[in-house]
Chains A and B, each alone.
Chain A
Amino acid sequence: MTTMTIAKAINEGLRASLTNNPKSLLMGEDIGPLGGVYRVTDGLIRDFGADRVVDTPLAESGIVGTAIGLALRGYRPICEIQFDGFVFPGFNQITTQLAKMHSRSGGKLTVPVVIRIPYGGGIGSIEHHSESPEALFAHTAGLRIITPSNSHDAYWMIQQAVDCTDPVIFFEPKRRYWLKGEVDTENPGPASDPFQAHVLCEGSDATIVAYGPLVPVALAAAAAAEEDGHSIEVIDLRSISPIDFDTVTDSVKKTGRLIVAHEAPTFGGIGGEIAARISERAFLHLEAPVIRVGGFHMPYPVAKVEEDYLPDIDKILEALDRSLAY
């Protein structure tokens, strides 16, 4: 057991993938000598060389499109998109090509490409550097989408993404890059299935589902609610596509109440999908409507007011109050 930040855990996970799989390689802008703008790939070019850690031209469609070609030749490319808002020049390649290649070929072709995207706000950055576009990808069949919230998951989930035969979008909660946590590099433990949700703390009055950057917020809200005498269950979703509805359903059957929290706008978001599925699966167990806590229907606001936009402990507690009032 060793302690490291999420950024370091991903770095070590990438190192393990490069070591274990000679066909894996990293691609992206500034990931070589600079080590990535967040230093997630720090030191890897030194140890694996410029053919395994490829500094690419500044072109997102080019990164994803050439990664598809490499995958067709039997390689396992791991692409870095520098920031969430910059993935859109590569969106066409991801949605019309990467997601569909296996299906179009009747299963003859596989494209095991991983796309790493640092996402989410809360770092005081400028336009296009704080977005949460996961729902846009989740709506596309053929992609898998996962996001870790802690160092242990980060270390294992990036390796599991590389090992997956399907294309995986790996969303990295950038404002948690420096969050430290324990990592067992010998044994993934309960993290052995990256598409399974985890119950982080058990409770009986209500369930909060969160993922990525909002998991610590959800845990803090649950702790605050406990001081007021409420017993709250917190689930780290971990996988956005597929969603582990079984774990969420089981929890809601126990607690009768559900809050879903994410940074992305609530409209058309993952929270709506969870609310709809849970109302189908556990309607008679629900004591209150499923309540979503998320961003507003606006472009991500400027950094000086992002605190008003982002879900925080108070917004989750307000949602809990509303739920418990039914």
Chain B
Amino acid sequence: MGATQLPTPGINGTGLDLQSPAGGASSDPAAEMIQLLGPDGKLGTDPVFSDYAKRLEPEQLRGFYADMAKVRRFDQEATALQRQGELALWVPLTGQEAAQIGSGRATQRQDYIFPTYREHGVALTRDVDLAELLKLFRGISNGGWDPTENNFHLYTLVLAAQTLHSVGYAMGIQRDQKFAEANGSNDPKAAVVAYFGDGASSEGDVHESMVFAASYNAPVVFFCQNNHWAISVPTEVQTKVPLFNRAKGYGFPGIRVDGNDVIAVHAVTEWALEHAREGRGPVLIEAYTYRVGAHTTADDPTKYRESAEEQAWRGKDPLDRLEKYLRNEGLADEAFFEQVRVDGDKLAAHVRSTTQNLKGPDFRESFAGVYAEPHPLVAEELAWFEEYSAGFEGDHEDGGK
């Protein structure tokens, strides 16, 4: 079902025909929420996704745990840094570690990621130095890292804008692959992951991105982290139907996965990425999860939700359940968990010291990036600023006025 059954528009006489989906059956694997690892730490089965889970080596499972623990520790440290006045704002991710580590670890190096602004866990899986992430929140950069280095795009604060960029980027991949195939290249096929939240799902750009992705069969995986709250507004105000159901209306598969189950998230994302890379079109994944903390350090969840709800979700904690599983199956011992704690503290110390040493740029640098090519107005204003600044140069020598 899904995109493969859509009529394929074609224009006669064109060289490349990127609009025709490749053949092969694509099946919407499930209508219900996919869960493999339950809150009790027991591994269940699923007719499609158990096969993906079986591929995982114990080393990878331990890695998932270590990643989740690391990014949670990082989150705590960043929150503390904000409270201490070192950051202007922080966007906590606690509760969403499985959704991010599971999906991030399912991507391959050639895939390109468009995050929103809470994807610190995904950044970790893409080898972005987490201290770099804090530049944005410290107010010293509007970006912070080189997106081309790890195929991890800049954070986007305007909700959902990046979902369209992801589709365009995926359309570029399609074209590159056509060029590459024509030249006999065997480069691994790539796909794009677009992250957004349940709040952003109300934005028109999400709708338009899904229309475009379906129309051009673009290799993009839409990864919606439904964390239940758009600042203070609940998901029920965003949608009347489960979000993953919307995919059906666009003509591609939608899957709801337990977003606190790192094994299921990894399996589902691997499936979706394979689907996209093989030319079978987009997939929407709804990771059903919960933002345990505030939306940002600027809001106060006690004003808009019951603590009982938070407590209920703490019972589904993604780290706890994987820890239970690893211990029950004898895949990790106390020494491992101790090492994870030590590594977390090390990361936190690195982030703290790096952040405190991150100095603001010289204001003159702000002139440099406005345009890629020389621009007379920018040059004129910079020259004025230099002259104006020069007028103050003697002041300090005169006694520090």
Is B172 touching A69 in the complex (CB atoms < 8 A)? yes
- Distance A46 CA – B11 CA, assembled complex (angstroms): 9
Is B208 touching A57 in the complex (CB atoms < 8 A)? yes
Residues of A within 8 A of B208 (CB): 57, 59, 61-62, 65
Is A74 touching B172 in the complex (CB atoms < 8 A)? yes
Could you say which interface size class chain A belongs to? 35 or more
Decide yes or no whether A128 CB sits under 8 A from chain B.
no
- Distance A32 CA – B161 CA, assembled complex (angstroms): 26
- Minimum CB–CB distance for A118 against chain B, Å: 22
The stretch from A3-11, A92-100, A298-306 touching chain B is A92-100
Is B141 touching A65 in the complex (CB atoms < 8 A)? no
Residues of A within 8 A of B209 (CB): 62, 65-66
- Minimum CB–CB distance for B361 against chain A, Å: 9
- Minimum CB–CB distance for B200 against chain A, Å: 13
Is A96 touching B161 in the complex (CB atoms < 8 A)? yes
Residues of B within 8 A of A141 (CB): 370, 378
Residues of B within 8 A of A59 (CB): 208, 211-212
| Given A56-B212, A65-B205, residue A142 in contact with residue B371 (CB < 8 A) | yes
Residues of B within 8 A of A192 (CB): none
Is A166 touching B16 in the complex (CB atoms < 8 A)? no
Residues of A within 8 A of B141 (CB): 106
Chain A 44-78, CB-CB to B under 8 Å as 1, else 0, gives 01100111000011010110111111111111010
How many contacting A-B pairs (Cβ < 8 A)?
Answer: 159
Is B16 touching A49 in the complex (CB atoms < 8 A)? yes
A164 is contacted by which of B204, B373, B378 (Cβ under 8 Å)? B373
Decide yes or no whether A203 CB sits under 8 A from chain B.
no
- Minimum CB–CB distance for A6 against chain B, Å: 26
- Distance A3 CA – B186 CA, assembled complex (angstroms): 48
| Given A103-B370, A141-B370, residue A97 in contact with residue B212 (CB < 8 A) | no
- Distance A243 CA – B377 CA, assembled complex (angstroms): 8
Decide yes or no whether A144 CB sits under 8 A from chain B.
yes
Decide yes or no whether B148 CB sits under 8 A from chain A.
yes
Decide yes or no whether B96 CB sits under 8 A from chain A.
no
Decide yes or no whether A21 CB sits under 8 A from chain B.
no
Residues of B within 8 A of A61 (CB): 164, 204-205, 208
- Distance A2 CA – B46 CA, assembled complex (angstroms): 69
| Given A59-B208, A105-B147, A242-B376, residue A93 in contact with residue B161 (CB < 8 A) | yes
Decide yes or no whether B165 CB sits under 8 A from chain A.
yes
Is A142 touching B370 in the complex (CB atoms < 8 A)? yes
Is A92 touching B161 in the complex (CB atoms < 8 A)? yes
- Distance A12 CA – B15 CA, assembled complex (angstroms): 21
Is B158 touching A97 in the complex (CB atoms < 8 A)? yes
Is B143 touching A73 in the complex (CB atoms < 8 A)? no
A107 is contacted by which of B171, B175, B372 (Cβ under 8 Å)? B372
Chain A 135-146, CB-CB to B under 8 Å as 1, else 0, gives 000000110100
Residues in A lying within 8 Å of B, measured CB to CB: 32-33, 45-46, 49-51, 56-57, 59, 61-62, 64-75, 77, 89, 92-93, 96-97, 100, 102-110, 141-142, 144, 164-166, 195, 241-246
30 chain-A/chain-B pairs, Cβ below 8 angstroms: A32-B11, A45-B14, A49-B14, A49-B16, A50-B16, A51-B175, A61-B205, A65-B164, A65-B165, A66-B164, A66-B168, A69-B165, A69-B168, A69-B171, A72-B153, A72-B169, A72-B172, A73-B176, A74-B172, A92-B161, A100-B142, A104-B142, A107-B368, A108-B146, A141-B370, A165-B373, A166-B371, A166-B372, A166-B373, A195-B376
